[in-house]
């Protein structure tokens, strides 16, 4: 791949990673959980969400990835004359959904490895991988509400 393209994708990936850190916490406690997920219909259990959703999600994200989907979104917006910082928060949406689908797809395919390490379901169990993946399908709704 051309070095210029790699540099461009890398610069966009940094923006995506910054926004992921801003919108999706690595852990939540009893005080921060409502800020992350909104008012509960019932009661939240912060430890369960931290260990069963956020920890495996960040485990997968911290392994890397090219962040192509949100990078293409930024490139298209920029090509149309927009300022990428205007839509930077939206980059979390395709990346969260994509990683959620990877975790669920790995369960369905009985995959062993993802990004050089055992798949999420091999480390945390199928139930956790599926719950994490499904959460990432719907998390964008909460992100949009925060904007």
Contact (CB, 8 A) for 89 and 22: yes
**Domains of the chain listed by start with CATH number:** 3-23+50-146 (1.10.600.10)
- Cα-Cα-Cα-Cα torsion 101, 147, 81, 2, nearest 10 degrees, comes to -30
Per-residue pLDDT reduced to its tens digit, 89-137: 999 999 999 999 999 999 999 999 999 999 999 999 999 999 999 999 9
* CA separation for the pair 7, 122 (Å, rounded): 33
pTM, two decimals, is: 0.90
The phi-psi region of residue 82 (left if phi > 0; otherwise alpha if psi is between -120 and 50; otherwise beta) is beta
* pLDDT tens digits, one per residue of 34-76: 888 888 888 889 999 999 999 999 999 999 999 999 999 999 9
Query: Which of 80, 60, 64 minimizes the C-alpha distance to 16?
Result: 64
């Amino acid at each position: 791949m051309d070095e210029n393209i790699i540099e461009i994708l890398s610069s966009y990936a940094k923006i995506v990673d910054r926004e992921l850190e801003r919108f999706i916490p690595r852990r939540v406690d009893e005080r921060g959980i409502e800020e992350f997920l909104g008012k509960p219909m019932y009661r939240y259990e912060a430890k369960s969400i931290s260990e069963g959703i956020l920890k495996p999600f960040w485990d997968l994200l911290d392994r890397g990835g090219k962040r192509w989907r949100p990078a293409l979104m930024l490139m298209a917006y920029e090509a149309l004359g927009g300022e990428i910082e205007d839509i930077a928060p939206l980059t979390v949406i395709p990346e969260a959904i994509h990683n959620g689908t990877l975790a669920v797809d790995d369960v369905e395919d009985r995959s062993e490895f993802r990004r050089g390490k055992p798949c999420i379901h091999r480390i945390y169990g199928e139930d956790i991988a599926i719950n994490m993946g499904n959460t990432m399908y719907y998390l964008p709704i909460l992100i949009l509400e925060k904007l």
